[in-house]
């Protein structure tokens, strides 16, 4: 079993809904990530939090809003999404910088926007 837990596993939402994705890790990792993965494509980086502060935002639309309440938790708040936002959303964590510690991915939330 993965050490990064994501909930829910599946989510269907309408374009006017507000929902949140949750991610939790208890490995003491200080970096946490959100990735988006479309079918048959590699993961695309969205956000990176380092020591609970937003470190990287890959020009993600404002309808995606990340939050890091503490070092173990990472949320992704969703509002007014478009059908093209349907994808697998992966959370990951690492002890530190990517080249010094591997990314540990969760199994993702499969999001469908109707």
Compare residues 17 and 101 and give the one whose CB is closer to other proteins. 101
Instruction: State the residues that interact with other proteins by CB under 8 A.
Output: 2, 4, 31, 33, 40-43, 45, 48, 50, 55-56, 90, 92, 94, 97-100, 102-108
Compare residues 14 and 96 and give the one whose CB is closer to other proteins. 96
Q: Which helix (H) or strand (E) holds 90?
A: strand 87-94
Smallest separation, CB 36 to other proteins (Å): 12
Compare residues 15 and 98 and give the one whose CB is closer to other proteins. 98
Smallest separation, CB 69 to other proteins (Å): 20
Between CA 46 and CA 61 the distance in angstroms is 10
Sign of the four-CA dihedral 83, 105, 49, 47: negative
Compare residues 28 and 42 and give the one whose CB is closer to other proteins. 42
Q: Which residues neighbour 77 within 8 Å (Cβ) at sequence distance 6 or greater?
A: 18, 19, 20, 64, 65, 66, 67
Pick from 30, 15, 18: which is nearest to 73 by CA?
Answer: 30
Smallest separation, CB 85 to other proteins (Å): 19
């Amino acid at each position: 079993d993965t050490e990064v837990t994501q909930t829910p596993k599946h989510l269907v939402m309408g374009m006017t809904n507000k929902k949140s994705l949750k991610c939790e890790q208890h490995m003491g990792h200080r970096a946490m990530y959100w990735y988006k993965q479309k079918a048959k494509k590699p993961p695309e980086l969205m956000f990176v939090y380092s020591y609970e502060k937003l470190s990287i935002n890959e020009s993600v639309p404002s309808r995606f809003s990340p939050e890091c309440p503490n070092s173990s938790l990472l949320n992704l708040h969703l509002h007014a999404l478009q059908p093209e936002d349907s994808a697998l959303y992966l959370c990951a964590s690492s002890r530190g910088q990517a080249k010094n510690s591997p990314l540990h991915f969760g199994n993702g939330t499969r999001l469908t926007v109707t």
